[in-house]
Amino acid sequence: MSESPCTTGEGAGSHVSDAAARELLEEVVATPSVTGEERACAELLVSFFESHGREAWLDDVGNVRAPADDAVLLTSHIDTVPGDIPVRVEDGGSAETTRDGGGEAAEANEDGPELWGRGSVDAKGPLVAMAVAAVSTGVSFVGVVGEEVDSRGAHHLVEDRAAPEAVVNGEPSGWDGITLGYRGLLAGTYVATSASGHTSRPENNAIQDGMDWWNAVTAAFADDGDEWTPVFERVTPKPIDVQGGTSDDGLSVEATMEVQFRVPPSLTVDEVREVADGELNGGTVRWHDSVPPVMQSPRTEVARAFRVAIREAGGDPRLLRKTGTADMNLYAKAWDCPMVTYGPGDSDLDHAPDEHLSLAAFDRSVAVLESVARTLQGES
């Protein structure tokens, strides 16, 4: 079922208290939603919207759809990676600044309680903050499935509905940070086969062909010794899985590699693929995933609204670029509208065994999202 953009008048939202928002967050974090098993958590969100007088449902792939004012679409993912972290609230430590995986300053820990549990940061904190802000302001919301594996929820969403006027994608950026860019992704499977023979022979076997190809690809994307090039601006080749050996019938040697390349906005995915294919000297690659990089302007109305809202909440806005890939890449490819990624939490804790979220930062992120939504509603 696809929805059409609609306009909700001023005051159409339903107030959600900080205590109620925290209660919903804890319940959502306590409900497991590993990729492929998101339904129970998704139904919690549907119930939350319905309890506040909003229409909501699960679509054909399991996304939570709650359409309303399309001045902005708030969207984040429901699924998490595996990992059992007992859900609990603990007193926070002293305020200190950490660093995220992309080398950007992450939000300072807030004094006060912290919620521990798988998904508290990636991305149930952003997800619930957006659900609360959507109910409070009457804007559109979607909770998508499958982001951690194949982004099937985001793929379905862009095929099933028209572009909104703006998008805020939910991932941890720190309550005072907004993410404007992500690298793209190219993924493939390398396969090589050679006739079996005595190991004393000098000719390459399939395993050596694979090793030679990967070494050549890595060298092709080397930074020529420039250690100051930011990671965001580099191509990062990474083998994900390697298998090889003599076949069961003993007649051949086989090698298989699952590989990924992170692609900076200065290059296209096709350009990276052309370089990788050009280094083949035995073996083939089946490319099975291709996501273009994205870099949004800091001067869009969405980015401006966030800067104002963060300052009003007492923060100093930080503009971030992430070295990974997110659903925002897919939205930017499909929809010609301004967008950013935003959400509470330190992204250095993504998928980590000590994943936890400051509840004070969560509160602030809700206030920021509500302010942004109201600003964009006024501009629509």
Known catalytic residues are: 79, 147
DSSP reduced 3-state for 220: helix
Residue type (1 letter), 35: T
Supply angle C-alpha 337, 317, 229, rounded to 5. Answer: 80
Q: How far apart are CA 203 and CA 80, in angstroms?
A: 46
Token pair of 248, please? 């069961």
Q: How far apart are CA 173 and CA 122, in angstroms?
A: 10
Beta strands (DSSP E) in the chain are 57-58, 64-66, 69-77, 88-91, 113-116, 139-144, 167-170, 177-182, 184-195, 236-246, 252-263, 284-291, 294-295, 318-322, 339-342, 356-358
CA distances from 86 to 40, 118, 148 (A): 18, 8, 21
DSSP reduced 3-state for 324: coil
Contact 351, 81 (CB under 8 A): yes
Residue type (1 letter), 170: G
Supply angle C-alpha 375, 124, 138, rounded to 5. Answer: 30
